[in-house]
Amino acid sequence: MDNNGINSATNSIKAKTKNRFDTEKPLISIITVVYNGEKHLEETIRSVINQTYDNIEYIVIDGGSTDRTVDIIQKYDHAIKYWISEKDYGISDAFNKGIAKASENSYIQLLNAGDTLISSTVLSELVPHLDSSIVSFKTLSKSGRFIGLDTYRTQEDFTRLPHQSTFVKKEVYTLFGTYSLGYKIRMDYEFFSRIVPFIVPKIEPIIAVVFDSTGISSSLKHKFRFEAEGVIIEFLYFNRSIFRVLYLPVWRTFKSTIATLLRILGLRR
Protein backbone atom coordinates (compact mmCIF):
# COMPACT_ATOMS: atom_id res chain seq x y z
CA MET A 1 0.00 0.00 0.00
CA ASP A 2 1.36 3.44 -0.91
CA ASN A 3 1.53 6.40 1.47
CA ASN A 4 -1.79 7.82 0.28
CA GLY A 5 -3.48 4.50 0.94
CA ILE A 6 -1.91 4.24 4.39
CA ASN A 7 -2.96 7.78 5.27
CA SER A 8 -6.49 7.14 4.10
CA ALA A 9 -6.75 3.95 6.16
CA THR A 10 -5.34 5.53 9.32
CA ASN A 11 -7.61 8.58 8.97
CA SER A 12 -10.61 6.30 8.62
CA ILE A 13 -9.65 4.39 11.77
CA LYS A 14 -9.07 7.65 13.62
CA ALA A 15 -12.52 8.96 12.62
CA LYS A 16 -14.24 5.77 13.72
CA THR A 17 -12.38 5.80 17.02
CA LYS A 18 -13.26 9.43 17.67
CA ASN A 19 -16.94 8.81 16.99
CA ARG A 20 -16.94 5.88 19.40
CA PHE A 21 -15.54 7.95 22.24
CA ASP A 22 -17.95 10.79 21.55
CA THR A 23 -20.79 8.53 22.70
CA GLU A 24 -19.10 6.31 25.30
CA LYS A 25 -17.20 6.76 28.51
CA PRO A 26 -13.96 4.80 28.21
CA LEU A 27 -13.15 2.58 31.17
CA ILE A 28 -9.96 3.66 32.95
CA SER A 29 -8.08 1.00 34.92
CA ILE A 30 -5.79 2.66 37.44
CA ILE A 31 -3.12 0.40 38.89
CA THR A 32 -1.16 1.34 42.01
CA VAL A 33 1.84 -0.77 42.98
CA VAL A 34 3.23 -0.34 46.47
CA TYR A 35 5.67 -1.80 48.96
CA ASN A 36 5.91 -0.46 52.51
CA GLY A 37 4.22 2.73 51.36
CA GLU A 38 2.23 3.69 54.46
CA LYS A 39 3.50 7.29 54.35
CA HIS A 40 2.08 8.13 50.93
CA LEU A 41 -0.36 5.41 49.84
CA GLU A 42 -3.49 6.97 51.30
CA GLU A 43 -2.86 10.22 49.44
CA THR A 44 -2.62 8.26 46.18
CA ILE A 45 -5.78 6.27 46.87
CA ARG A 46 -7.81 9.35 47.78
CA SER A 47 -6.72 11.12 44.59
CA VAL A 48 -8.22 8.23 42.63
CA ILE A 49 -11.44 7.51 44.48
CA ASN A 50 -12.38 11.20 44.71
CA GLN A 51 -12.44 11.67 40.93
CA THR A 52 -15.59 13.12 39.40
CA TYR A 53 -15.20 10.72 36.46
CA ASP A 54 -17.22 7.63 37.31
CA ASN A 55 -16.02 4.90 34.92
CA ILE A 56 -12.92 3.85 36.84
CA GLU A 57 -11.73 0.52 38.19
CA TYR A 58 -9.00 0.68 40.80
CA ILE A 59 -6.44 -2.07 41.31
CA VAL A 60 -3.79 -2.13 44.06
CA ILE A 61 -0.84 -4.53 44.00
CA ASP A 62 1.17 -4.71 47.22
CA GLY A 63 4.48 -6.55 47.32
CA GLY A 64 3.98 -8.05 50.78
CA SER A 65 4.46 -4.93 52.89
CA THR A 66 5.46 -5.24 56.54
CA ASP A 67 4.24 -1.79 57.63
CA ARG A 68 0.64 -0.46 57.74
CA THR A 69 0.17 -0.55 53.98
CA VAL A 70 -2.36 -3.42 54.04
CA ASP A 71 -4.37 -1.69 56.78
CA ILE A 72 -4.67 1.37 54.54
CA ILE A 73 -5.73 -0.74 51.55
CA GLN A 74 -8.37 -2.48 53.65
CA LYS A 75 -9.68 0.91 54.83
CA TYR A 76 -10.59 1.68 51.20
CA ASP A 77 -11.57 -1.85 50.20
CA HIS A 78 -15.05 -0.64 49.23
CA ALA A 79 -13.57 1.55 46.47
CA ILE A 80 -10.99 -0.93 45.15
CA LYS A 81 -11.98 -3.48 42.52
CA TYR A 82 -9.09 -5.82 43.24
CA TRP A 83 -6.10 -5.87 45.57
CA ILE A 84 -3.51 -8.38 46.68
CA SER A 85 -0.59 -8.42 49.07
CA GLU A 86 2.13 -10.94 48.31
CA LYS A 87 5.83 -11.07 47.50
CA ASP A 88 6.73 -10.33 43.91
CA TYR A 89 9.78 -10.04 41.66
CA GLY A 90 9.88 -6.26 41.60
CA ILE A 91 8.00 -3.38 40.02
CA SER A 92 7.64 -5.01 36.58
CA ASP A 93 6.06 -8.09 38.13
CA ALA A 94 3.67 -5.92 40.15
CA PHE A 95 2.72 -3.90 37.05
CA ASN A 96 2.05 -7.11 35.15
CA LYS A 97 -0.15 -8.53 37.91
CA GLY A 98 -2.25 -5.39 37.81
CA ILE A 99 -2.50 -5.37 34.01
CA ALA A 100 -3.69 -8.99 34.09
CA LYS A 101 -6.59 -7.96 36.34
CA ALA A 102 -7.58 -4.91 34.27
CA SER A 103 -10.73 -5.24 32.18
CA GLU A 104 -10.50 -5.76 28.45
CA ASN A 105 -10.79 -2.63 26.30
CA SER A 106 -9.80 -0.38 29.21
CA TYR A 107 -7.21 2.36 29.27
CA ILE A 108 -4.53 1.44 31.80
CA GLN A 109 -2.76 4.05 33.94
CA LEU A 110 0.11 3.09 36.26
CA LEU A 111 -0.10 5.41 39.26
CA ASN A 112 2.45 4.31 41.84
CA ALA A 113 2.12 4.88 45.57
CA GLY A 114 3.20 8.46 46.23
CA ASP A 115 1.97 9.72 42.85
CA THR A 116 -1.35 11.56 42.76
CA LEU A 117 -3.81 12.75 40.15
CA ILE A 118 -3.44 16.51 40.05
CA SER A 119 -7.09 17.32 40.80
CA SER A 120 -10.41 15.60 41.44
CA THR A 121 -11.66 16.60 37.98
CA VAL A 122 -8.59 15.75 35.92
CA LEU A 123 -9.83 12.43 34.50
CA SER A 124 -13.05 14.09 33.32
CA GLU A 125 -10.87 16.67 31.58
CA LEU A 126 -8.56 14.07 30.01
CA VAL A 127 -11.19 11.62 28.73
CA PRO A 128 -12.07 13.62 25.59
CA HIS A 129 -8.44 13.20 24.51
CA LEU A 130 -8.47 9.40 24.83
CA ASP A 131 -8.95 8.61 21.15
CA SER A 132 -5.75 6.71 20.41
CA SER A 133 -4.16 3.46 21.61
CA ILE A 134 -1.56 5.33 23.68
CA VAL A 135 -2.20 8.83 24.99
CA SER A 136 0.42 10.60 27.08
CA PHE A 137 -0.05 13.65 29.26
CA LYS A 138 2.44 15.55 31.40
CA THR A 139 3.63 14.91 34.94
CA LEU A 140 4.74 17.48 37.50
CA SER A 141 7.31 16.27 40.03
CA LYS A 142 6.95 17.37 43.64
CA SER A 143 10.21 19.25 43.16
CA GLY A 144 8.55 21.36 40.42
CA ARG A 145 10.04 19.69 37.32
CA PHE A 146 7.80 18.90 34.32
CA ILE A 147 8.08 15.43 32.79
CA GLY A 148 6.57 14.71 29.39
CA LEU A 149 6.49 15.99 25.84
CA ASP A 150 4.87 19.14 24.48
CA THR A 151 5.14 18.09 20.84
CA TYR A 152 6.53 15.24 18.76
CA ARG A 153 10.23 15.57 17.99
CA THR A 154 11.80 12.16 17.35
CA GLN A 155 10.77 8.54 17.73
CA GLU A 156 13.23 8.17 20.59
CA ASP A 157 11.46 10.96 22.50
CA PHE A 158 8.41 8.75 22.78
CA THR A 159 10.35 6.12 24.70
CA ARG A 160 10.73 8.51 27.63
CA LEU A 161 7.04 9.09 28.20
CA PRO A 162 6.10 9.34 31.88
CA HIS A 163 4.29 6.09 32.64
CA GLN A 164 2.38 7.77 35.49
CA SER A 165 0.45 9.97 33.07
CA THR A 166 0.38 7.75 29.98
CA PHE A 167 -2.80 5.81 29.21
CA VAL A 168 -2.36 2.56 27.27
CA LYS A 169 -5.16 0.42 25.88
CA LYS A 170 -5.02 -3.10 27.28
CA GLU A 171 -5.00 -4.47 23.72
CA VAL A 172 -1.52 -2.98 23.30
CA TYR A 173 -0.23 -5.07 26.21
CA THR A 174 -2.02 -8.13 24.84
CA LEU A 175 -0.36 -7.72 21.44
CA PHE A 176 3.14 -6.64 22.47
CA GLY A 177 3.53 -8.14 25.93
CA THR A 178 3.87 -6.47 29.31
CA TYR A 179 6.89 -5.25 31.30
CA SER A 180 10.12 -7.24 31.21
CA LEU A 181 11.22 -8.69 34.54
CA GLY A 182 14.80 -8.16 33.38
CA TYR A 183 14.56 -4.44 34.11
CA LYS A 184 14.24 -3.35 37.73
CA ILE A 185 14.04 0.42 37.12
CA ARG A 186 13.68 1.32 33.43
CA MET A 187 11.00 -1.16 32.53
CA ASP A 188 8.82 1.64 31.12
CA TYR A 189 11.66 2.87 28.88
CA GLU A 190 12.10 -0.65 27.50
CA PHE A 191 8.36 -1.08 27.02
CA PHE A 192 7.91 2.14 25.04
CA SER A 193 11.10 1.42 23.06
CA ARG A 194 9.49 -1.85 22.02
CA ILE A 195 6.18 -0.23 21.06
CA VAL A 196 6.92 3.10 19.36
CA PRO A 197 8.26 1.68 16.09
CA PHE A 198 4.71 0.42 15.52
CA ILE A 199 2.38 2.76 17.41
CA VAL A 200 2.92 6.50 17.58
CA PRO A 201 1.61 7.77 20.93
CA LYS A 202 -0.67 10.76 20.99
CA ILE A 203 0.83 13.62 23.02
CA GLU A 204 -1.27 16.08 25.01
CA PRO A 205 0.65 18.79 26.95
CA ILE A 206 -1.81 18.72 29.86
CA ILE A 207 -0.62 18.12 33.42
CA ALA A 208 -2.30 15.00 34.80
CA VAL A 209 -0.19 13.70 37.67
CA VAL A 210 2.01 14.90 40.50
CA PHE A 211 4.99 12.54 40.64
CA ASP A 212 6.80 11.41 43.78
CA SER A 213 10.43 12.03 42.80
CA THR A 214 11.78 10.06 45.77
CA GLY A 215 11.09 6.67 44.20
CA ILE A 216 13.56 3.93 43.35
CA SER A 217 14.66 5.44 40.02
CA SER A 218 15.65 8.64 41.82
CA SER A 219 17.74 6.94 44.49
CA LEU A 220 21.51 7.37 44.33
CA LYS A 221 21.78 3.75 45.42
CA HIS A 222 20.17 2.69 42.14
CA LYS A 223 21.73 5.33 39.90
CA PHE A 224 24.25 2.94 38.36
CA ARG A 225 21.59 0.38 37.52
CA PHE A 226 19.37 3.12 36.06
CA GLU A 227 22.17 4.19 33.70
CA ALA A 228 23.22 0.62 32.87
CA GLU A 229 19.69 -0.42 31.92
CA GLY A 230 19.43 2.68 29.72
CA VAL A 231 22.58 1.74 27.84
CA ILE A 232 21.31 -1.80 27.26
CA ILE A 233 17.95 -0.57 25.95
CA GLU A 234 19.56 1.96 23.61
CA PHE A 235 21.87 -0.74 22.29
CA LEU A 236 18.95 -3.05 21.60
CA TYR A 237 16.46 -0.61 20.09
CA PHE A 238 18.05 2.47 18.52
CA ASN A 239 20.16 1.33 15.58
CA ARG A 240 23.04 0.63 17.92
CA SER A 241 22.52 -3.10 17.73
CA ILE A 242 24.72 -5.33 15.55
CA PHE A 243 21.70 -7.56 15.00
CA ARG A 244 19.68 -4.72 13.49
CA VAL A 245 22.54 -3.60 11.25
CA LEU A 246 23.10 -7.10 9.86
CA TYR A 247 19.43 -7.93 9.47
CA LEU A 248 17.96 -4.50 8.73
CA PRO A 249 15.91 -5.69 5.71
CA VAL A 250 14.31 -8.39 7.87
CA TRP A 251 13.69 -5.83 10.63
CA ARG A 252 11.97 -3.44 8.20
CA THR A 253 9.77 -6.21 6.82
CA PHE A 254 8.83 -7.23 10.35
CA LYS A 255 7.93 -3.62 11.25
CA SER A 256 5.81 -3.27 8.12
CA THR A 257 3.92 -6.50 8.86
CA ILE A 258 3.20 -5.48 12.44
CA ALA A 259 2.10 -2.00 11.33
CA THR A 260 -0.39 -3.55 8.88
CA LEU A 261 -1.73 -5.84 11.61
CA LEU A 262 -2.18 -2.88 13.96
CA ARG A 263 -4.14 -0.96 11.35
CA ILE A 264 -6.40 -3.96 10.78
CA LEU A 265 -7.00 -4.26 14.53
CA GLY A 266 -7.63 -0.54 14.85
CA LEU A 267 -4.73 -0.02 17.27
CA ARG A 268 -2.81 2.35 15.06
CA ARG A 269 -4.14 5.73 14.00
Q: Domain of 127: which CATH number?
A: 3.90.550.10
Are the C-beta atoms of 11 and 19 separated by less than 8 Å?
no
Residue 229's φ and ψ, nearest 5 degrees, are: -65, -35
Write down the pLDDT at residue 8: 45
Strand, coil or helix: what is 248? helix
**CB neighbour list of residue 85: distance below 8 Å, 6 or more residues apart:** 62, 63, 64, 65, 69, 70, 73
Closest CA to 76 of 52, 43, 99, 108: 43
> Which residues constitute the domain of residue 132?
3-265
> In the chain, how many domains are there?
1
Tens of pLDDT, residue by residue, the chain (269 residues): 444 443 443 344 344 444 444 447 999 999 999 999 999 999 999 999 999 999 999 999 999 999 999 999 999 999 999 999 999 999 999 999 999 999 999 999 999 999 999 999 999 999 999 999 999 999 998 777 787 777 666 666 677 788 999 999 999 999 999 999 988 888 898 999 888 888 889 999 899 999 886 655 445 556 767 777 777 777 777 765 555 455 555 666 677 777 778 878 777 66
Give the Cα separation of 89 and 36 in Å (integer).
Answer: 15
Work out the number of other CB atoms within 10 angstroms of the CB of residue 108.
Answer: 24
Cα atoms in the Cβ-side hemisphere of radius 13 Å centred on 102: 31
Q: What is the pLDDT of residues 235-250, one digit of tens each?
A: 777 765 555 455 555 6
